[in-house]
């Protein structure tokens, strides 16, 4: 049997209320994985439907190559954070260039209000080398929480259906009451 999802809980007040869905090491290959018979692209697209905020990681050593990813990122309807990781391998000046180049591309493709930030980040140093919107990590997490609001689209639809049923039940009860009074 293949594990469909894995949940790892990390106690943290700062991350409270957030769930991160990690897609596979996404690539554009048409080759299906032996484990689940799906391509990385198909698995990533499924995961995109489950989230409210997209954190898209790009290896800094790839430079600003997000153009190959834009097609799949456009499938996601919500706020986005673009993270160029391993920034320590590039240095501040190179990271500024990477973030600025990426911003030029991304702001042509997505409305500015959809992008929370574009950052160059180093896990090794636990440090942002460059932030397009001059945000700190806690500020990015706060923006993600506001945008996500803890409600997935599926839960929103379920709530909407429940409200419709409740409204219909109330209307039916009122109609019955009116009929009984007549």
Summarize the confidence of residues 76-94 as an average pLDDT.
Answer: 90
| pLDDT given for residue 71 in this prediction | 81
Q: Which two tokens stand for residue 182?
A: 């007549």
| Cα(157)–Cα(160) distance, integer angstroms | 5
Task: Name the 3-class secondary structure at 56.
Answer: strand
| Cα(4)–Cα(82) distance, integer angstroms | 26
pLDDT band at residue 136 under the 50/70/90 scheme: very high
| Neighbouring residues of 14: CB distance < 8 A, sequence distance ≥ 6 | 138, 141
User: For residue 1, is pLDDT > 50?
Assistant: no
User: For residue 24, is pLDDT > 80?
Assistant: no
pTM for the model: 0.68
| pLDDT given for residue 16 in this prediction | 63
| pLDDT given for residue 100 in this prediction | 94
Residue reference for tokens 């993270």: 83
pLDDT in tens, 86-134: 999 998 999 999 999 999 999 999 999 999 999 999 989 889 999 999 9
| pLDDT given for residue 172 in this prediction | 93
Q: Which two tokens stand for residue 85?
A: 């990781």
Residue 133: CA count within 13 A, CB half-sphere: 18
User: For residue 164, is pLDDT > 50?
Assistant: yes
Check residues 30 and 11 and name the one with the higher pLDDT: 11
User: For residue 176, is pLDDT > 90?
Assistant: yes
User: For residue 54, is pLDDT > 60?
Assistant: yes
Residue reference for tokens 């260039």: 97
């Amino acid at each position: 049997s293949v594990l469909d999802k894995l949940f790892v809980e990390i106690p943290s007040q700062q991350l409270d209320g957030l769930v991160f869905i990690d897609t596979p090491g996404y690539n554009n290959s048409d080759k299906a994985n032996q484990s689940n018979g799906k391509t990385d692209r198909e698995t990533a697209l499924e995961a995109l439907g489950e989230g409210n905020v997209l954190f898209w990681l790009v290896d800094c050593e790839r430079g600003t190559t997000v153009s190959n990813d834009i097609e799949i990122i456009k499938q996601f309807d919500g706020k986005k954070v673009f993270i160029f990781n391993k920034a320590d391998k590039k240095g501040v000046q190179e990271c500024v260039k990477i973030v600025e180049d990426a911003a030029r591309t991304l702001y042509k493709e997505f409305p500015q209000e959809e992008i929370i930030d574009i950052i160059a980040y180093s896990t090794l140093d636990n440090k942002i080398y460059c932030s397009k919107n001059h945000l700190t990590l806690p500020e990015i997490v706060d923006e993600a929480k506001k945008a996500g609001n803890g409600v997935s689209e599926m839960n929103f639809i379920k709530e909407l259906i429940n409200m419709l049923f409740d409204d219909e039940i109330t209307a039916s009860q009122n109609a019955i009451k009116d009929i009984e009074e007549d």
